[in-house]
Amino acid sequence: MCLAVPGRVVEIAERDGTRMAVVDFGGVVKDVCLEYLPDLAVGEYAIVHVGFALQRLDEESARRTLALFAELGLLQEEFGDPWEAAADAGPRGEAKP
């Protein structure tokens, strides 16, 4: 369940006693309820699902994850990469335009 998308808080305001934010999703802007992340600040990113911010995104751990992925790639380069040729051939012959 799971169509939850990262967005950046642009603006915060109370509306009808509810904490709401304007959130930017890469050029698409929507109103989002902040009641579950009341201390989320302008400029921060959160996972948003059906108009609710559900969890703050942690930049530090995102960077660590990406660094790990990059490291795995480098490791492989050292040993040569048998995958590349196979990937270029496509999973099935016919699939190559």
Partner 1 sequence: MRYLEEFSDPALARGLLDDIRAAVTRPWALMEVCGGQTHTIIRHGIDQLLPEGIELIHGPGCPVCVTPLEIIDKALEIAARPGVIFCSFGDMLRVPGSDRDLFRVRSEGGDVRVVYSPLDALRIARENPDREVVFFGIGFETTAPPNAMTVHQARRHGIRNFSMLVSHVRVPPAIEAVMTSPDCRVQGFLAAGHVCSVMGVDEYPELAARHRVPIVVTGFEPLDILEGIRRTVRQLERGEHTVDNAYPRAVRPEGNPAARAMLADVFEVTDRAWRGIGTIPRSGWRLSPRYREQDAEHRFDVAGISTREPERCRSGEVLQGLLKPNQCEAFGGECTPRTPLGATMVSSEGACAAYYLYRRLGAPATPQEATPVV
Partner 2 sequence: MSDADTLTTIAPDPSGWTCPAPLRDSPRVVMGHGGGGALSAELVENVFLPAFGGRTLAALGDSAALSLGGARLAFSTDSFVVRPLFFPGGCIGDLAVNGTVNDLAMSGARAAYLSCAFILEEGVETSVVGRIAGALGDAARAAGVEVVTGDTKVVESGRGDGVYVNTAGIGLIPPGVDIRPQRARPGDVVLLSGEIGLHGVAVMSMRQGLEFGVEIESDCAALGGLVDAMLAVTPDLHVLRDPTRGGLAAALNEIAAAAGAGVVVDERAVPVPPQVASACAVLGLDPMYVANEGKLVAFVPREHADGVLAAMRAHPLGAAAAVIGACVPDHPGMVVARTAFGGTRVVDLPLGEQLPRIC
Contact region for partner 2 (CB under 8 A) — 12-20, 33-41, 56-64, 83-91?
Answer: 83-91
CB-CB contact of 24 with 8 (8 Å) = yes
What x/- string results for residues 75 through 94 when contact with partner 1 is judged by CB under 8 A?
xx----xxxx-xx---xx--
Residue labelled with tokens 């959160």? 46
User: 55 CB contacts (<8 Å, ≥6 apart)?
Assistant: 37, 46, 47
Under rule CB under 8 A, residue 1 binds partner 1: yes
Selection from partner 1, partner 2, none that 41 binds (CB < 5 to 8 A by kind) is none
Selection from partner 2, partner 1, none that 27 binds (CB < 5 to 8 A by kind) is partner 2
Query: What secondary structure letter does DSSP report for 95?
Result: G
Q: Exactly one of 11, 13, 41, 51 binds partner 1 (CB under 8 A); which one?
A: 51
Distance CA 79, CA 74 (A): 9
Q: Exactly one of 50, 62, 67, 68 binds partner 2 (CB under 8 A); which one?
A: 50
Strand pairing class (45-49; 28-33): unpaired
Distance CA 15, CA 17 (A): 5
Determine the 3-state secondary structure of 54 from DSSP: strand
Instruction: Point out which residues bind partner 1 (CB under 8 A).
Output: 1-6, 8, 16, 18, 26, 30, 33, 35-38, 45, 47, 49-52, 54-55, 57-59, 61-66, 69-76, 81-84, 86-87, 91-92
